[in-house]
Chain A
Amino acid sequence: MAQSEQVGIIGKGIVIKGNLTGAGDLVIEGKVEGQIALKNHLTIESTGNVQADIQADELTINGEASGNIDASSKVAISSSAKVAGDIKAPRAPTPSTAEPNRVPTTQ
């Protein structure tokens, strides 16, 4: 499907405050405050800082994220990531060096 190939990138110098929704993949290198609802894959890069409730199909966190995370397929948190908030996902692998402040709940 053509839509899943579309990638949105929020660069390092960009700050977004508000609601972000969409169907394509999204890579965040900058800062997002508010709410994110995405039907595909969301990647928060190491420079990325997200203070938002996140809803996505798949989520990869290499940077900072605070807020409630709800992923419909999986969450991957790298060792460099900082995550604060509740994580809800069918599969939530948590490397020992990443420190979510609460225990992930899986369904």
Chain B
Amino acid sequence: MANTVIGSSIVIDGEISGDEDLVVQGTVKGKISLKESLFVEGSGIVEADIETQNVEVAGRVTGNINATEKVELKSDCRVVGDIRAPRILIADGASFKGNVDMDAKGR
């Protein structure tokens, strides 16, 4: 499967959409909407509203996260924004500021 990687020196200002996994090691500002999974790695900075199936955050995310399956906040990540997903996992050491909405019926 083709894998999309936004390398750590890459900055994207705009809208990313697609139907495959996305790995962010760099910076993305704007909006991300995917049908698959988003991985924000330790060096990754996302200032965007996110709509995906799964999200794994080890870096920084500022923006609202809306996932149809699962959101995982790894230790040492920093997330500011509301999270809406049926399954949410926040690791020990993760920093999170925002609201959690796990009501899957509302979507």
Residues of A whose CB lies within 8 Å of any CB of B are 3, 6-26, 29-30, 34
Residues from chain A with Cβ under 8 Å of B25 in the complex = 6
- Contacts A3-B9, A8-B26, A23-B9 given; indicate if A17 touches B14 (C-beta within 8 A): yes
| Inter-chain contact A24/B8, CB cutoff 8 Å | yes
Residues of B within 8 A of A23 (CB): 9-10
A16 to B11, CA, bound (A): 12
Contact A30 B14 (CB under 8 A): no
Chain B residues close to A by CB (< 8 Å): 2-20, 22, 25-26, 30
Given A8-B7, A24-B7, A30-B4, verify A18-B19 contact (CB < 8 Å): no
Select one of A11, A18, A19, A26 contacting B7, CB under 8 A.
A26
The complex places the Cα of A12 from the Cα of B3 at a distance, in Å, of 9
Q: B5 to A9, Cβ gap below 8 A?
A: yes
Assuming the contacts A18-B30, A22-B26, asked whether A11 and B4 have C-beta atoms less than 8 A apart, the reply is yes
In this complex, what residue of B is CB-closest to A47?
B2
Residues of B near A30 (CB, < 8 A) are: 4, 18
Contact between chains at A24 and B9 (CB < 8 Å): yes
